[in-house]
């Protein structure tokens, strides 16, 4: 029994380390990602009270994750009276939103962070954003193209914990596209086309 207890004690620390690495941080230690740039004072003033009295139906895309992402992003802007899946409208919405281009992050596999539980980090440049059009449901050819995207560094590994103190980075679990900064930048991108959308 004493021999088994010693074996258990010698394995306890490594097992605990593995459990923390796997259970708390997805096997790569930790992660951080760049946030979009902050709005200037003038930009903040423009988006603060803005509202477009329009409804938006999001058309289902061939890869549904992209249209779902667009719907959620447009809902978070709170610019419109209503944003929902197109098929959920009982009467035609003011505008139809369509995904125009796929924007996605890096497809690189974090081999070294996975094999070392985050001790050896990995950094990649990633692009995040939305590319879509808005058009009247009966005139799809009158599309207003809108795109907001930005590039930033994503880091995987325990070193990413240092980014907790960086004001322009978000630490795991990170999702910069759900951040207030991304919401505000997308609002601004839409408002740049306000006159065309109201027409």
pLDDT digits (tens, 9 = 90+) for 40-53: 999 999 998 899 99
Residue 161, both tokens: 């914990």
Model pTM? 0.80
β-sheet bridge partners, residue 32:
155, 171
pLDDT for 114 equals: 84
Mean pLDDT score of the chain: 87
Beta strands in 2-156 (DSSP E): 31-34, 52-58, 80-85, 95-99, 122-135, 144-156
Q: Among residues 112, 146, 126, which one has the least CA distance to residue 29? A: 112
pLDDT at 34 over 80: yes
Q: Among residues 36, 84, 86, which one has the least CA distance to residue 59? A: 86
Q: For residues 48 and 39, is the Cβ–Cβ distance under 8 A?
A: no
pLDDT at 199 over 90: no
Cα–Cα distance, 122 to 124 (Å, whole number): 7
């Amino acid at each position: 029994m004493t021999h088994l207890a010693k074996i258990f004690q010698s394995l306890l620390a490594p097992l605990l380390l593995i459990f923390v690495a796997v259970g708390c941080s997805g096997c790569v230690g930790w992660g951080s990602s760049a946030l979009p740039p902050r709005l200037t004072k003038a930009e903040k003033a423009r988006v603060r009270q803005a509202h477009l009295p329009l409804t938006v139906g999001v058309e289902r895309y061939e890869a549904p994750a992209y249209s779902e992402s667009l719907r959620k992003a447009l809902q978070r802007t709170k610019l419109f009276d209503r944003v929902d899946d197109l098929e959920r409208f009982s009467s035609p919405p003011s505008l139809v939103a369509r995904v125009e281009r796929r924007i996605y992050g890096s497809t690189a596999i974090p081999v070294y962070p996975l094999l070392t539980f985050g001790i050896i980090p990995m950094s990649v440049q990633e692009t995040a954003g939305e590319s879509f059009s808005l058009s009247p449901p009966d005139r799809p050819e009158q599309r207003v193209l809108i795109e907001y995207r930005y590039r930033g560094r994503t880091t995987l590994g325990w070193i990413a914990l240092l980014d907790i103190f960086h004001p322009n980075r978000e630490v795991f679990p990170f999702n910069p596209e759900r951040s207030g900064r991304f919401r505000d930048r997308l609002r601004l991108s839409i408002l740049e086309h306000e006159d065309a959308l109201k027409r």
